């Protein structure tokens, strides 16, 4: 029998005494319980995984050389899905991270490419204490290596299954953290669309981390979503019905279902028969247990309203007395947006990273530009773990933002939606105080409001556009794309005398041929017209510039207002 030092670890090796878990080895059953047979020393483990075909040469180099501190401590995964997760320690900081390895071929075969791409794109933007942190992404021709925050305590779902219904204070603490993270997503124009306890992870101190943004989407002003996605038990009625929705309102519904599960230990809508389940959701058919407090009994039904126009919004949830009870200080003031966070650098942690051998100027520039490299990974690991162990979880981080939070109080905008659907207020944000006491909400008028019939409003809009020689294309019942070309030759004194050639609309806009044969770039303004319906049973007309000179667009808006007769 060959000695151990002469054995070659490869798929062709046949020495049963020396090959760990060979595919032909009947002693290894490839179940989670058999992981105790895996050799955990870095080099041996790398060779073992390489022999199974589960590890590339690139990753074996990754483990053996300690790139980003790859001292492998534990491994588990779903190899059939092309996903393998490692939990190494970062050598420079000593903190654990999770490395998810995604096989390109397998995720392509499962049509998960778009899901993975979207999740990475969104997580790269986010920096919030209750959203899972992405530190680095390493791409190779065959695999994608995603370095993420290590979350120790598993899913909130398992926590609820183990403990049953939670005490109200504990459930409220979880709910406050969830709403804080969801609000941050909405303020950054992202709607999650798959909120459920399985996608809410818990760290070592049982703080919530929102994860799995694969079904999330970017929100755009005046644009609406229709994709039916997410888990049926947590999906809003408008989602399972295939109706248009703005986004935030479906997350509010899901949060209401989660709150019910936290307080009751069961789901409000549950049935093995999917048609029956959908019937309950669309009808809002559920029962409230008698043990719920008056505050919870008031909050849950207002979040689980079938009509999205009447459903509670995130700012309204924040104002609710039940939510305000025992609200931690760091959650009283929402964190700054990603651009403000990038500008704020912790000097103490910066010095620690510089001592590791990184150039200070390059590190500062990388942090401000949100570039992911070994230096920024070390910085954010130190930053996250320092605040995790601080008293009052992350209180120190937000202590510095409190004063500026009062000076940056933002006002709500009127919540509106396309006719028949309300656009809940991801713009309806209100600054928060510590007591916590809230200033009186002020509503700012957005666009042009009218109580006239929608058909009458749109008729007048089309007449005005025709008078201004604006071309349009209908993209919805109350939504149009428009284009207007301004002739700056001085031949026309008024805007209404400006002709627009139809063949230029949505076609080649590179040039206009003048009378002398010269080519001249036109001043083109592209914009969208959208009619919304507000809570006050009014209709709101909004013009949004898409492309073109801003001042020229303002001139066009002024002329457009002069033409309208019903607003």
**Strand locations in 387-538, DSSP E?**
412-413, 416-418, 443-444, 448-450, 471-476, 479-486, 512-513, 519-520, 523-534
User: What pLDDT was estimated at residue 65?
Assistant: 44
Structural element, H or E, at residue 398: helix 395-407
Count of other CB atoms within 10 angstroms of residue 481 = 17
pLDDT at 171: 95
| Mean pLDDT per 10-residue interval, the chain, length 567 residues | 32 34 38 43 52 48 43 36 47 65 80 75 79 82 81 86 92 94 84 86 89 57 46 84 72 94 92 88 92 95 91 92 91 64 71 78 79 71 59 38 34 40 36 38 62 85 88 85 77 42 38 44 81 76 85 85 72
Q: Are residues 210 and 307 in the same domain?
A: yes
Domain CATH code at residue 509: 3.30.310.80
Residues 12 and 41 in one domain: yes
User: Are 180 and 322 contained in the same domain?
Assistant: yes
Active-site residues, by number, are 194
Q: Does 177 share its domain with 324?
A: yes
Q: What is the pLDDT of residue 290?
A: 92
Residue 428 CB-density burial (10 A; 0-12 exposed, 13-18 middle, 19+ buried): buried
Backbone angles phi and psi of 97, in degrees to 5:
-135, 165
Rounded Cα gap, residues 496 and 508, in angstroms: 23
Do 139 and 172 belong together in one domain? Answer: no
Same-domain status, 312 and 170: yes
The Cα 425–Cα 183 span in angstroms is: 10
Q: Are residue 87 and residue 129 in the same domain, yes or no?
A: yes
Q: Does 546 fall in a domain?
A: yes
pLDDT 10s digits, 353-386: 787 777 888 888 877 776 767 677 677 766 766 6
Question: Do 162 and 240 belong to one domain?
Answer: yes
Q: Let me know if residue 423 belongs to a domain.
A: no
Same domain, yes or no, for 144 and 247?
A: no
**Domain presence at residue 427:** no
CATH of the domain at 144: 3.30.200.20
- 3-state SS class at 204: coil
Please give the pLDDT value at position 467.
Answer: 87
Residues 171 and 109 in one domain: no
Residue 379, domain extent: 338-407
Distance separating alpha carbons of residues 300 and 316, to the nearest angstrom = 12
The whole-number pLDDT of residue 338 equals: 54
Instruction: Give yes or no: residues 186 and 167 share one domain.
Output: yes
- Let me know whether 551 and 402 are in one domain: no
CATH number at residue 211: 1.10.510.10
Q: Cα 53 from chain centroid?
A: 34
Structural domain includes residue 421: no
Cis bond before residue 436 (omega within 30° of 0): yes
Q: Is residue 424 part of a domain?
A: no
* pLDDT the model gives residue 133: 84
In the chain, the number of structural domains is: 4
Last residue of a domain, one of 133, 149, 165: 149
């Amino acid at each position: 029998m060959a000695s151990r030092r002469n054995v070659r670890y490869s798929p062709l090796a046949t020495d049963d005494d020396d090959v760990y878990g060979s595919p032909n080895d009947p002693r290894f059953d490839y179940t989670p319980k058999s992981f105790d047979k895996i050799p955990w020393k870095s080099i041996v483990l790398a060779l073992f995984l390489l022999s199974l075909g589960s590890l590339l040469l690139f990753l074996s180099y990754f483990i053996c050389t300690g790139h980003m501190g790859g001292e492998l401590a534990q491994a588990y995964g779903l190899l059939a899905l092309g996903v393998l997760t490692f939990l190494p320690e970062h050598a420079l900081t000593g903190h654990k991270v999770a490395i998810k390895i995604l096989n390109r071929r397998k995720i392509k075969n499962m049509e998960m490419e778009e899901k993975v791409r979207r999740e990475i794109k969104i997580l790269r933007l986010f920096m919030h204490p209750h959203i899972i942190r992405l530190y680095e992404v390493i791409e190779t021709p065959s695999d994608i290596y995603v370095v993420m925050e290590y979350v120790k305590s598993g899913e909130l779902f398992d926590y609820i299954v183990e403990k049953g219904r939670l005490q109200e204070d504990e459930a409220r603490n979880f709910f406050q953290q969830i709403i804080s993270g969801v609000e941050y997503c909405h303020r950054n124009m992202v709607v999650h669309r798959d909120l459920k306890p399985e996608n809410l992870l818990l760290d070592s101190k049982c703080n919530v981390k929102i994860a799995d943004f694969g079904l999330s989407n970017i929100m755009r002003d005046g644009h609406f979503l229709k994709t039916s996605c997410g888990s049926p038990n947590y999906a809003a009625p408008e989602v399972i019905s295939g109706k248009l929705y703005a986004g935030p309102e479906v997350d509010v519904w899901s949060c209401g279902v989660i709150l019910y599960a936290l307080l009751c230990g069961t789901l409000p809508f549950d049935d093995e028969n999917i048609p029956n389940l959908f019937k309950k959701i669309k009808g809002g058919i559920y029962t409230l247990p008698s043990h719920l407090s008056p505050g919870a009994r008031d909050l849950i039904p207002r979040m689980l309203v079938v009509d999205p126009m009447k459903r509670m919004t995130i700012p309204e949830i924040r104002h609710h007395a039940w939510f305000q009870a025992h609200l931690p200080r760091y959650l009283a003031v929402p964190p700054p947006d990603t651009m403000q966070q990038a500008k704020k650098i912790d000097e103490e942690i910066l010095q620690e990273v510089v001592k590791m051998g990184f150039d200070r100027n390059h590190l500062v520039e990388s942090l401000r530009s949100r570039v992911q490299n070994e230096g920024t990974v070390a910085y954010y690991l130190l930053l996250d773990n320092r605040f995790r162990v601080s008293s009052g979880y992350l209180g120190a981080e937000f202590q510095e933002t409190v004063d500026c939070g009062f000076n940056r109080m933002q006002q709500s905008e009127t919540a509106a939606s396309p006719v028949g659907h309300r656009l809940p207020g991801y713009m309806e944000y209100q600054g928060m105080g510590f007591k916590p006491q809230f200033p009186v909400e002020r509503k700012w008028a957005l666009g042009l409001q009218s109580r006239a019939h929608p058909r009458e409003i749109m008729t007048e809009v089309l007449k005005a556009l025709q008078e201004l020689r604006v071309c349009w294309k209908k993209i919805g019942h109350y939504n149009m794309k428009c284009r207007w070309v301004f002739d700056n030759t001085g031949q026309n004194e008024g805007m209404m005398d400006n002709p627009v050639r139809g063949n230029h609309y949505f076609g080649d806009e590179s040039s206009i041929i003048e009378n002398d044969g010269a080519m001249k770039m036109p001043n083109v303004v592209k914009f969208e017209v959208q009619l919304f319906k507000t809570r006050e049973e009014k209709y709101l007309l909004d013009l949004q510039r898409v492309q073109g000179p801003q001042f020229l667009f303002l001139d066009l808006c002024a002329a457009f207002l002069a033409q309208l007769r019903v607003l």
